[in-house]
């Protein structure tokens, strides 16, 4: 009996690893269709990493680069964050103001305090980075609206890498896929 449980757990872990590899191997979709979404059309009730309310529409006025992640991810999210950091450097060199928004996939486990610790340990302390948590309904709704496919398997969130760029008026102008090296080209 014990051996069967170990095999089942191993098979589950192997399946999860295969799914992560598959999702991270999907080619970049920098040319993915832009759906005309606006920040104002998205759920607005979010909490930042110090538990303050934040509405996405309040970020209009300059570009917004938005993605989804979860704080305990060890593969895809760190690559996504590194890609965003490279984008920040390029935009800084251009003198362009931009806000980076990371919405948590897993509101049951990624509380504001978890995101705050995430920011501290990864030295993401600039005021133009927002790590947001919302209700499960709002999280699922924004994921559907913006094309972020994800699902939970055991304690893991299975997902790909995707970044959306909104212009200063809050209109979506680009959808970028998993190849973080190509994100700079879309700026």
pLDDT in tens, 69-82: 888 777 878 888 99
pLDDT confidence of residue 1: 53
Higher confidence at residue 142 or residue 36?
142
Residue 169 has pLDDT above 80, yes or no: yes
Mean pLDDT of the chain: 80
Q: For residues 144 and 68, what is the distance between their CA atoms, to the nearest angstrom?
A: 12
pLDDT tens, position by position, 6-48: 444 434 443 344 333 333 333 333 334 456 789 999 999 999 9
Residue 178 has pLDDT above 80, yes or no: no
Radius of gyration of the chain (CA): 17
Contact at 8 Å (CB) between 183 and 176?
yes
Strands of the sheet with 98-104, listed across from one edge: 129-132, 98-104, 63-69, 163-166, 172-176
> What structural domains does the chain harbor?
2-186 (3.40.30.10)
Pairing mode, strands 129-132 and 46-47 = unpaired
Angular region, 64: left φ>0, alpha ψ -120 to 50, beta rest: beta
Maximum Cα interatomic distance, the chain, rounded to a whole number of Å: 63
Averaged pLDDT, 147-170? 80
Q: Please provide residue 101's backbone torsions phi and psi, each rounded to the nearest 5 degrees.
A: -120, 125
pLDDT confidence of residue 171: 94
Of 74, 65, 75, 143, which Cα lies nearest the Cα of 104? 143
pLDDT confidence of residue 158: 62
Tokens for 135, please give them: 């209700």
Contact at 8 Å (CB) between 133 and 119?
no
pLDDT tens, position by position, 49-61: 999 999 999 998 9
């Amino acid at each position: 009996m014990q051996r069967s449980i170990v095999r089942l757990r191993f098979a589950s872990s192997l399946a999860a690893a295969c799914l992560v590899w598959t999702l991270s191997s999907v080619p970049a979709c920098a040319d993915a269709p832009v759906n005309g979404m606006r920040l104002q059309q998205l759920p607005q009730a979010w909490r930042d990493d110090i538990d303050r309310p934040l509405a996405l529409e309040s970020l209009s006025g300059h570009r917004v680069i938005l993605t989804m992640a979860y704080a305990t991810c060890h593969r895809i999210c760190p690559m996504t964050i590194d890609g965003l950091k490279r984008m920040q450097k390029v935009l800084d060199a251009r003198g362009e103001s931009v806000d980076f928004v990371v919405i948590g996939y897993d509101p049951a486990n990624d509380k504001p305090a978890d995101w705050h610790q995430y920011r501290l340990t990864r030295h993401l302390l600039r005021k133009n980075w927002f790590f947001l948590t919302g209700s499960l309904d709002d999280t699922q709704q924004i994921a559907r609206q913006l094309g972020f496919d994800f699902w939970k398997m055991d304690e893991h969130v299975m997902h790909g890498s995707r970044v959306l760029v909104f212009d200063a008026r809050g209109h979506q102008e680009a959808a970028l896929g998993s190849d973080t090296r190509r994100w700079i080209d879309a700026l």
